[in-house]
Amino acid sequence: MSAIEAKISLPRLGLLDEGTTKRLIAMAQAGDTSARDKLVQHNMRLVYSVVSHLAPAGCEFEDLFQVGCLGLMKAIDRFDLTYDVRFSTYAVPVIAGEVKRLIREDGMIRVSRSVRQLGSRLMAAREKLVADLQREPTIAELADAVGVSPEEAVYAMEAAIPVTSLDESAGRDDESGYHVQDTVAAERSGVDDVVDSVSLKKAIQRLPARERRILLMRYFEEKTQAEVAAAIGVSQVQISRIEKKVLSALRNMME
């Protein structure tokens, strides 16, 4: 155990299996505080991992860790059990978003070399998978290709957002329409301001049926714009335009 781990009393508990996790989330969302506490305890090392990658030198690590735990609790409260996505995959960008907000307030943003390198490996793997599969790979496929967990893949791309323009082409011709946000699972294309709101679910429910379906497919089912376009029966360009319109509408609803 490191000195920092000891200082913040990090429990020696691992992640729970997904079935147990989702059962406890259901209980926590129904008001069971003991279930909520157990989830927090078993996911504190996940928070520690995210904070360790983001914390600038000389920062107050304990403050960032506490903010990360608040992000974890937000993720527990907001996680939608009807979607087929692992809780940890969903929680990582939520935790990172809270931590980065505090870091930004202090004017310090750092992405470790190892995370940048992983991001580069993921982009190289994406190019190969696109060629092999003739479609955009899923987060799970990308993670498997480079030998990391989906959570690590999401984190590497999420952590790079402040230093990588979301509108920057990621290695394909401009007309292909592929951008970094096509791969990041939870905070893409300006979505970090939207997903940070506790009123997100209510706002989504107010969207027209087709727009709601597109949003859910993109940000909860991890579908690419091309996959959503095929499912909806429109072009990828139309999906891109609709997505931007929906995100703008959500922000307006929550202002």
Is the pLDDT at 180 greater than 90? The verdict is no
Between CA 9 and CA 62 the distance in angstroms is 10
Is the pLDDT at 145 greater than 80? The verdict is yes
Equal CATH topology for 111-179 and 197-255: yes
> CATH assignment of 197-255?
1.10.10.10
pLDDT digits (tens, 9 = 90+) for 188-244: 333 443 344 345 666 777 788 888 888 777 766 667 777 888 788 878 788 888 877
Least confident of 92-96, 166-170, 208-212, 248-252: 166-170
Give the fold, CATH level 3, of 3-105. Four Helix Bundle (Hemerythrin (Met), subunit A) (1.20.120)
Give the fold, CATH level 3, of 111-179. Arc Repressor Mutant, subunit A (1.10.10)
Residue type, 32: D
pLDDT reported for residue 247: 77
**CB neighbours of residue 144 within 10 Å:** 16
Between CA 246 and CA 249 the distance in angstroms is 5
pTM: predicted TM-score of the whole model, two decimal places: 0.48
Cβ atoms 136, 181 nearer than 8 A: no
Provide φ and ψ at 202, rounded to 5°: -65, -40
Between CA 60 and CA 66 the distance in angstroms is 10
Domain ranges of the chain: 3-105, 111-179, 197-255
